[in-house]
């Protein structure tokens, strides 16, 4: 059996679908379907069992969780980067992860978990090293705190643990995320409402719309998860991105090209984001390549086209 936490979410459901495509149907999903529209992400997937995330956490704490997993892919988290409730963030992103790690070590189960490039925050260097880690919000800190916990236990691990620092992931099965969906979906909605994609004016030394991020297609993130899930690879914390930054103008133009209409309009940079905004990210993939992962990233133009085609297919 394979456990996927956050399995009804964006990356988790894409991972479940990829596992199905490999012939795996013995999948246990842990998630929270309080927002019932998330079930659509699993509508074309096959799973063997489902647990609500609070029920599963309670089972972990009481040593009553199932003990027959061969692999754990821990994708579940509060991913709202503007969430200000630190207690809530640390409960789900740190405490739950720590208990799941204890479970995996006790039962000798390999674990691949989702970290985040938000751990780098204000840094301009993106190698997996403590001196580059400066989170700008409690979300980034919650991810860093668990990374630090894993590092502290690395020399005593009984089963492999791999943390993947996701950069700006986009793709299908994320429309349920509303404000936290990737910019591809926000740009598509803007075009549906008025044929205009709105980008920030120049900031942080960049011209209008020229702020840059490492936009990575979710299919590439799934491949990296599956690569480490196969075992026989080093444990540790690895960047998971494309390794190539692209401007917001590039991304907006890719959406406009895929939709066949629209134009860009620039708006003032918001006051409440000053001092809290990553104007540039680009994953250093040296450590990932050294681990043996050599797949080429999906170009932004292709990834955006495939995303919007899949969104239309899933919506029928």
Q: Tell me which residues are annotated as active site.
A: 139, 177
Q: Encoding tokens for residue 175?
A: 């429309």
For residue 295, the tally of other CB atoms under 10 A from its CB is: 12
The pairing of strands 196-200 and 215-217 is unpaired
The DSSP secondary-structure symbol of 208 reads T
CA distances from 268 to 20, 56, 198 (A): 45, 44, 10
Q: Is 313 buried (19+), middle (13-18) or exposed (0-12) by CB count in 10 A?
A: exposed
CA distances from 27 to 46, 48, 103, 143, 284 (A): 8, 5, 18, 25, 32
CA distance 208 to 197: 13
CA distance 276 to 133: 14
């Amino acid at each position: 059996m394979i456990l996927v936490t956050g399995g009804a979410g964006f990356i988790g459901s894409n991972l479940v679908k990829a596992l199905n495509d490999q012939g795996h149907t013995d999948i246990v999903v842990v998630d929270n379907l309080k927002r019932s529209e998330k079930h659509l992400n699993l509508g074309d997937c096959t799973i063997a069992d489902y647990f609500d995330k609070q029920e599963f956490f309670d089972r972990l704490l009481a040593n009553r969780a199932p003990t027959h997993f061969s692999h754990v892919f821990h994708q579940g988290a509060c991913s709202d980067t503007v969430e200000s409730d630190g207690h809530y963030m640390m409960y789900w992103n740190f405490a739950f992860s720590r208990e799941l790690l204890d479970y995996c070590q006790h039962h000798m189960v390999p674990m691949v978990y989702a970290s985040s490039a938000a751990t780098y925050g204000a840094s301009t260097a993106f190698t997996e090293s403590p001196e580059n880690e400066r989170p700008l919000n409690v979300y980034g800190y919650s991810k860093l705190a668990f990374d630090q916990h894993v590092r502290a236990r690395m020399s005593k691990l009984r089963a492999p643990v791999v943390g993947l620092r996701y950069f700006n992931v986009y793709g299908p099965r994320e429309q349920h995320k509303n404000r936290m969906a990737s910019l591809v979906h926000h740009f598509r909605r803007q075009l549906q409402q008025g044929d205009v994609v709105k980008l920030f004016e120049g900031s942080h030394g960049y011209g209008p719309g020229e702020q840059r991020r490492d936009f990575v297609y979710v299919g590439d993130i799934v491949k990296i998860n599956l690569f480490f899930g196969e075992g026989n690879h080093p444990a540790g914390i690895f960047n998971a991105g494309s390794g190539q930054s692209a401007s917001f103008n590039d991304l907006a133009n890719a959406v406009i090209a895929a939709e066949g209409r629209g134009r860009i309009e620039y708006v003032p940079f918001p006051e409440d984001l000053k001092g809290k905004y990553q104007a540039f990210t680009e994953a250093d993939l040296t450590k990932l390549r050294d681990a043996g992962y050599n797949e080429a990233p999906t170009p932004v133009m292709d990834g955006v086209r495939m995303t919007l085609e899949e969104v239309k297919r899933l919506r029928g």
